[in-house]
Structure formats: structure tokens, C-alpha cells
Structure 1
Amino acid sequence: MSETDPLGAEAEGIPADALDAYSRVVTDVAATVTRQVAAIEMFLATSRGNARRGGGSAVVFSESGHLLTNAHVITGASAGNATFADGSTSPIDIVGADPLSDLAVLHARAGLVPAPATLGNADSLRVGQLVVAVGNPMGLSGSVTAGVVSALGRSLPTRFGDAGRVIEDVIQTDAALNPGNSGGALADSRGIVIGINTAVAGVGLGLAVPINLTTRRIIDALLRDGRVRRAYLGLISAPTPLRPEVAVRVGQEIALRVVDVIERSPAARAGLKVGDLLLSAGRQPVHDAQSLQRLLFVEAIGHPLPVTVLRGTAMVDVIAEPEELSAVR
């Protein structure tokens, strides 16, 4: 230790200036994002008064007082209250919820709300990148933890009935998350929110729903309609690298291998089979679950969807007609 290095960081092989730089990033992000995250308490109005249904966190994302949280945080509730970092409170109403993405939009009734967070694009994240989680675990408001992006492209089972559906492209982080963090912000080193913390899967394992183009479409639908209408194909797939000679032939390196086809689904009626390598849909290349999901919103319902697969060595073109998801639950 020394007067210039009181913690002995250099003696441990860690440059003091690097440690200071890390601290500066985290404290700057915390100072910004903490103001943008509210603690929420949800309740169900009954004839006997308000029955508490749970709580969590939510992120302010519009000047007009809209907040983004997890759908599971508001399940069974009809309204709630939000408490902001400055101690101000506001009643909140539920604008809409989407269990399939575990996202929900709320609205604060109070005239003044904190300046909204900047929503980024998680598609640009890299494994090992610094992230900061802000939320209200165990009722401890404004709690901040830091870590890294541990993995990308994880899947998270939803609470959507018993259909075995999953949220795709979930962010995995080692930033500590606890009950009450759900609905809080996962921010990058610039203080831009790139995920909504959604679950704790185990010790040192936190998950967050990514903010990306698909998420923005979901948010827009919730703001407009209070729900998300989706198209349904009825297949389960997984990204698969193509052999080099096949990749050259088809012009892409990754396809979606069909691992299951739901009986009597649009995919089954179109003739898709387990083992098919899905190359394109709607004449657009597909290489991961998200690229397919982007095509399965309201405008695809009831309309022919051209699909190209590689079956063995043959290229096969079929036409599927997606149904509305709510009709096939």
C-alpha cells in the first residue's frame, strides 16, 4: 500500500486508474438510471378495498409518464402506485401487457414524472460487456448492481398457459438480481437501457428481456391496442450452422433447423417437417428465432407466407398461412 494507492490495488496487479475508471462508469450510470426507475406496488381493487398483488420495478420511457415493466409483475392486478427516486408517488394504470414477451406498459397519472430513460438496441451487445442493473429488490429502492453480459441468445420459459413457449434472445448477466428487480433497468456503460430485468434463474444468474426492434414493436402495440396480436406458424426451431459447401450454395451460413411441428398447425398444413432447414420466410433470410418472430405480427395473420427450406439436398418452397395466436392457444 501507499499514499497514492491506499487500497493496494497495484500490489494486487490491478492498475489503480483502471479501478477508478470502472467506478466512474458505474457511479455515472447509477446517478442517471436510478432517477428513471420507479418502485411499483400493484393491487386489485375489491369491494373490501385494495388487495396487494405484488410489486417490483418499472422504467420511465416517455415524457407523458409511461413506464415499462414485466407482465408477471402486474399479473392479477388492476392498478397500482409508483414511487420515484425523489420520493414522489403517483397512481399508475395498466395500459397493456404481453405475457409472451413478459413486458407490460403502465401509465403514471401524476403530472410530473422523471425524465425518461433512453432505450437502446441490445442487438449490438457483446459478451463480456459491462452492464448495470437498477431496481428495487426486497423493497430496497434504488439498488444498483454491476456485472457483465454473461451470454446472449438465451431462452426463458414464459408464464403463458401450458404451451411451453419461450422468450427468445434473452440477455444473461452476472449482475446480482433479486425479487423486486423484475421490471427494472439493465443499462450499458452509457446509461442507455438495453434490457428489462425479468428473472433470477439461480445464484449469479440473472436474465433480462432485450430492448430491440421486436421489443419496440411490442411496446408500440401495447400503447396503441393494450395487447399484441401475433401470427402463429406452429413450429419449434433452433439455429444451426450450415456446412461450408451448403452455405456457399444458399448464400447464408446459419439456418433454423425445425425440431418440432405442432399437429394441425399452419406449418404442418404447409408440409414442413422435422429436420427441415428453414432458410427464408416471406422472402427474407432467417438465421435465428428473432428474425422469424419479426415476421409474425398482426400483418401476417391470414396471409400467405412463402417459406423456403433445405430438405436433404433439395430446396423446397411451401406456402404457409399463419393464424392468429389467440385462436390456437
Structure 2
Amino acid sequence: MTENREQGPDASAPQGPRADQHPVPAYAGAAAPGAPQAGARAHWGPPPSPAPYGAGPTGPGGPPTLVEPRPRRPRPMTGIVAAALIAGLVGGGAGFGGAYALLGDGSRPSTTLTSSAAAPAANADPGTVAGAAAVATPSTVDIRVPLAQGTAEGSGIVLTADGAVLTNNHVVAGATGPISVTLADGTAYEATVVGSSPSYDLAVLRLQGASGLTPATLGSSADLQVGQQVVAIGSPQGLTGTVTTGIVSAFDRTVAVQGEDGSAVVYNGLQTDAPINQGNSGGPLVDLQGRVVGVNSAIATGSSESTGSIGLGFAIPVDQAQRVAQEILDTGAATKPVLGVQGNPAAGDGGGAQIGAVEPGSAAAQAGLAAGDVVTKVDDARVEDFADLVARIGARTPGEQVTLTVTAGGAERTVEVTLGSAPDQAASTTGGGRSPNTPFGQSPFGGN
């Protein structure tokens, strides 16, 4: 997936990648030099190795395939990139950075996000693309973020009338100055980061002095059906208020993207063929009633030189995004569920996620999981490799009980596990990372 960030001397005009530009500023398909390559901690909190999970070559020889359709088999290589537009980047350094600390005076009004029926669209038939656009466009914003080199541009979703806005973490990570947010009517505000969730690639902003905004109506991603029509709204290539349409293509796609600093983000994504391009990151994917069902985040591209949509877009399901956003609004930080095992995302033949080690006292240990066990399902969702396990667990909530289907020695059993919880402080290695040659388990990922 390519990050919807592009840079050039003129930050106001989108420009295509030049030979002297890093083709994938933040969510490169191949691992960045010096990035971790080996194992990963098998609970959700610590993301897996940023090494590719597909069958393609890595490094300068070609971008790997990071999203694996089912069944797994060789196919043309694509790169997965985030969808934020960066203007002015020369030679890399876009900076998919770490989590932000809470900004402001620490006082937070009580805010509760709710799902409800969408209001009828004015001058547009409800249940149509035009009706959905009329409902959702006033709640979609353009976000510009100054970076060390250039400006990042993405999209966002208005959550509250007093200026809480949801976007992707990769849109605002690495900000070096005031963030500018522009409403659909052209009104501009400065914004600060309330909190971020690196593991889910989400962040919440607060517009300074805002009131009377139009909050988006949040729907339910659990109620979606494959083939259902959806609409994406955002600022692709800086063209604010752009509306595109398509369908829900698939659920439970394991989406893995990597920043230049080696941080990895793995989530359980919603796939759509609605055209999503650089600049759509953080914007809404809505149903025909104008209800938000996903947060547009990443796209697959045909090659490292091509960064446009090829009909493979990925969004963070709104049910997951709403939980994370609510926690950030309430406390300034988010949590993530923890299983408590370690494994190697680069290993496996599609037959499940093999556990390499179980952390003492973890949820997995309490449930009786052991090294050598192979997890093939989380509830009814198939698990083909360790990246799948990370994504499936991450789609759950801390404290939730899940049923794992496990095989060991040819025998299959089911195990009930109550997931633990950890602060979502980073989606990267700790302690300066690890050597690509370090065996997994000796220097586990994560910060908890």
C-alpha cells in the first residue's frame, strides 16, 4: 500500500513521484533498511514483523504482496500503501512516527459516540450515491500537516459538534507545526492531537474554537454485506470533497503496512473497490444512507512506481474505529487486546498461526495454550498465518472472550480465552528494534 502522501516544491499542487523521491513515503511494501524482519509477538498489541507476508521478493528486487487474498497463491506483485498525500517530500523522510502525547489542559468534556439513523439528504434521494454524499460530505474534512520536509494531506471525519475529528494516525504522525483542518464549507481551523492509536492507525484531533459542526452518523460495519454499495469521500490528490463509489468487496482482510522507521501496523480490514487514492486517508467510507462504515486507510498498487487506485482499497471497520475513538475522547489514549503469544509472521504454509512461545501469566497461558500449538480460527474467522492471528485478535476488544480453534499433534481442540489489555502506545519494536537475524522470542515486539 502506498501512503497517500506526495511532496514537491509547490505544496499546493499535487505532483507525481519523481526519480529523486522515495516512492512509498510511509507505508512501503518492502522493509526499510534496518527494519525488523524476524519474529513478532503473537498477541495483538505487539505487531508482527514488518517483513512481507506474501510470496514476492523483498527489498530492491521488487515490492512484496502484503495483503493475501484467499486462497494463497502466486499472483502479480502489488505494494500496499497508506492513503495520505504528502507534498514536498524530496528523498524520503516522510515519518510514520510514534504515538502523540495528550495535548491541551487535560480537561475533557464527557462525549459519547453513538450510532443512529442518518438524516434524510436535502435535495437528493435517500438510498442513492447522491443522497449519501449529501449526508456525509458536510462531516468530511481536509487535513494538512506540516512535516520536516513538506506537508502531508489527508482527510478526516467530524465526530462531534465541538470539533472532535477522527483520522488516520499516519496522516498526522510526524507533525512539526500546527495542523490545519478545513471543513466542507471552506472554514479552516487549527487542530491539536487529542490522542492516537498506532496499532489501529487512528488518531483523534480537536479543532480549536469550533462549534456547531455537523457530526457524521456512525453506522455498523458488522451489518455490511459483500456486494453492498458504498461511497468514499475525501481529498484524493488534494481534490477536496471528491466522491467515489463502489461495493464492499470482502471482509477480514489482513492489512499490513510499514513506516520508514520500521513500525508496523496490522489490522483486520474491510476491502472495497471504491476508488481510493492518495489523500483519501482518514476519510469516511459510507453506506447509501450516509452512515460511516469504515475509515479509508490504504490501497494496493500495481507496482512501486504506480501509486493510484487499482480497485483494491482497505478501510478500518467503523465498529473498531468507534471503540478506539471513544477511548481517546474519554482518556486521551486507547487500549488494545492482548493474547500473549509469540510467533513468526514470515513462517507458515497457510495452515494456521504456529505459536512459538507463550508469555507467562498472559491470557494465552491462563487458557492453556503452549508453544507448538497452531491456531486455525478465532471464533469463525480463519487464521492462515501469524499475521492473520494478529489481525483477528486486534479486531476484538480488551476483556472479550474468544474461542480459538487449535491443533497440536494432529488433534484439534477449542480453547476459550479472555483477552488481556494493554495501552496502545506504539505499533513498533521497542529498545531500538532488533537485528533481522535475531531469533523470534529473544527480543519480542511491543511495549507491554
TM-score (norm 2): 0.53
User: Which of 353, 364, 373 pairs up with 1:259?
Assistant: 353
User: Which of 120, 143, 159 pairs up with 1:61?
Assistant: 159
Q: Which moved more, 1:177-186 or 1:52-61?
A: 52-61
Q: Deviations over 1:88-140 (max 9, x none)?
A: 11111111111111111111113335310111111111111100000011111
The verdict on how the C-alpha distance between 1:55 and 1:263 changes in structure 2, with shifts beyond 3 A counting, is same
Look up the match of 2:214: 115
Q: Offset of 1:30 from its aligned partner? A: 1.1
Q: Higher relative contact order by CA 8 Å / sep ≥ 6: 1 or 2?
A: 2
The verdict on how the C-alpha distance between 1:317 and 1:39 changes in structure 2, with shifts beyond 3 A counting, is closer
The amino acid that maps onto 1:199 is: A
User: Which of 164, 170, 178 pairs up with 1:72?
Assistant: 170
Look up the match of 1:228: 334
The amino acid that maps onto 2:223 is: S
Q: Offset of 1:162 from its aligned partner? A: 4.8
The verdict on how the C-alpha distance between 1:23 and 1:292 changes in structure 2, with shifts beyond 3 A counting, is closer
Q: Offset of 1:187 from its aligned partner? A: 0.4
Q: Which moved more, 1:178-187 or 1:70-79?
A: 70-79
Q: Deviations over 1:259-287 (max 9, x none)?
A: 1324453447954244545788xxxx575
User: Which of 27, 30, 55 pairs up with 2:130?
Assistant: 27
* Structure 2 spans left out of the alignment, 5+ residues: 1-123, 302-309, 346-350, 383-388, 431-444
CA contact (8 A) 1:130 1:188 kept: yes
User: Which of 321, 327, 337 pairs up with 1:215?
Assistant: 321
In 2: Cα distance, 1:294 partner to 1:178 partner: 25
Look up the match of 1:90: 189
Q: Offset of 1:215 from its aligned partner? A: 2.7
In 1: Cα distance, 2:323 partner to 2:127 partner: 34
In 1: Cα distance, 2:274 partner to 2:293 partner: 14
In 1: Cα distance, 2:414 partner to 2:324 partner: 32
Aligned length: 277
In 2: Cα distance, 1:110 partner to 1:64 partner: 8
The verdict on how the C-alpha distance between 1:188 and 1:235 changes in structure 2, with shifts beyond 3 A counting, is farther
**Residue 199, structure 1, aligned to residue 298, structure 2:** yes
The verdict on how the C-alpha distance between 1:237 and 1:29 changes in structure 2, with shifts beyond 3 A counting, is farther
User: Which of 180, 204, 209 pairs up with 2:279?
Assistant: 180
The verdict on how the C-alpha distance between 1:273 and 1:198 changes in structure 2, with shifts beyond 3 A counting, is same
Q: Which moved more, 1:78-87 or 1:29-38?
A: 78-87
Look up the match of 2:434: none
The amino acid that maps onto 1:141 is: T
In 2: Cα distance, 1:319 partner to 1:125 partner: 27
**Residue 37, structure 1, aligned to residue 140, structure 2:** yes
The verdict on how the C-alpha distance between 1:209 and 1:316 changes in structure 2, with shifts beyond 3 A counting, is closer
Q: Secondary structure at the match of 1:209?
A: strand
The verdict on how the C-alpha distance between 1:74 and 1:275 changes in structure 2, with shifts beyond 3 A counting, is same
Q: Offset of 1:229 from its aligned partner? A: 2.8
Q: Secondary structure at the match of 2:206?
A: strand
In 2: Cα distance, 1:146 partner to 1:316 partner: 41
In 2: Cα distance, 1:116 partner to 1:319 partner: 37
The amino acid that maps onto 1:57 is: S
Q: Secondary structure at the match of 1:153?
A: strand
- Normalized per residue, the structure richer in strand is 1
Look up the match of 1:189: 288
Map 1:86-165 to 2 at 5 A: 86-159=185-258, 162=262
TM-score (norm 1): 0.71
Q: Secondary structure at the match of 1:230?
A: strand
Q: Percent identity?
A: 31
Q: Offset of 1:43 from its aligned partner? A: 2.4
The verdict on how the C-alpha distance between 1:165 and 1:134 changes in structure 2, with shifts beyond 3 A counting, is closer
Q: Secondary structure at the match of 2:161?
A: coil
Q: Secondary structure at the match of 1:119?
A: coil
Q: Secondary structure at the match of 2:225?
A: coil
CA contact (8 A) 1:100 1:158 kept: no
Map 1:279-294 to 2 at 5 A: 287=381, 292-293=393-394
In 2: Cα distance, 1:308 partner to 1:82 partner: 46
Q: Offset of 1:150 from its aligned partner? A: 1.3
* Structure 1 spans left out of the alignment, 5+ residues: 1-20, 45-49, 239-256
Map 1:8-27 to 2 at 5 A: 25-27=128-130
Q: Deviations over 1:244-271 (max 9, x none)?
A: xxxxxxxxxxxxx751324453447954
In 2: Cα distance, 1:230 partner to 1:116 partner: 26
Q: CA RMSD in A?
A: 3.7
Look up the match of 2:19: none
The amino acid that maps onto 1:178 is: N
The verdict on how the C-alpha distance between 1:38 and 1:258 changes in structure 2, with shifts beyond 3 A counting, is same
Structure ID, larger Rg: 1
